[in-house]
Amino acid sequence: MPDNEVTFAAFNAARPVLEQIANKWSVLILTVLCEQPARFNVLKRRLERNGLVHRRVITSSPVAVEYSITPLGRTLKDPFSALVTWAAKHGAKFEKAQLAYDRQNVGS
C-alpha cells in the first residue's frame, strides 16, 4: 500500500476527534482551561461528554457553574498553545493569501 493511502486512512480515523476538538470554540476554551478552572457559561457540554472538561455546579446564590480541564483535556495544552501561537504569528499572512487567491479566481 502506498504511503499516501496510509496517511489518508489515518486522517479519516482521526477526523471525528479533530471535528470535536479543532473547532474554533473548543480550541479557545481548552486553551483557557489548560491554565486554570473558569466560570464560563457558554462552554459546550459535549466537551464534558468527551472527557475533556469537568463541569461543577456551585451551590451559591445565584447558582454558578465552573469548568475545569480533565487529565485527558490537559494533554491538548501543548498542541493548542502551538496552534494559537501559529495563528497569531501567521494570521495576517493567511488572510493575505486568501485575498490574493480570491482575486485571482473571481468568476472561476
- The number of domains in the chain is 1
C-alpha to C-alpha distance for 88 and 19, rounded to whole angstroms: 21
For residue 87, which amino acid is it?
Answer: A
Q: Is 92 helix (H, G, I), strand (E, B) or coil?
A: helix
pLDDT at 18: 66
pLDDT at 77: 85
pLDDT at 25: 72
CATH code assigned at 15: 1.10.10.10
Give tens-digit pLDDT for 66-88: 889 999 989 988 887 787 787 77
Q: Domain range holding 13?
A: 3-104
Q: How many CB atoms lie within 10 A of CB 22?
A: 15
Q: What is the pLDDT along the chain (108 residues), one digit of tens a residue?
A: 455 555 666 656 666 666 767 777 777 777 777 777 876 655 656 678 778 888 888 998 898 888 899 999 899 888 877 877 877 787 788 788 889 999 999 877
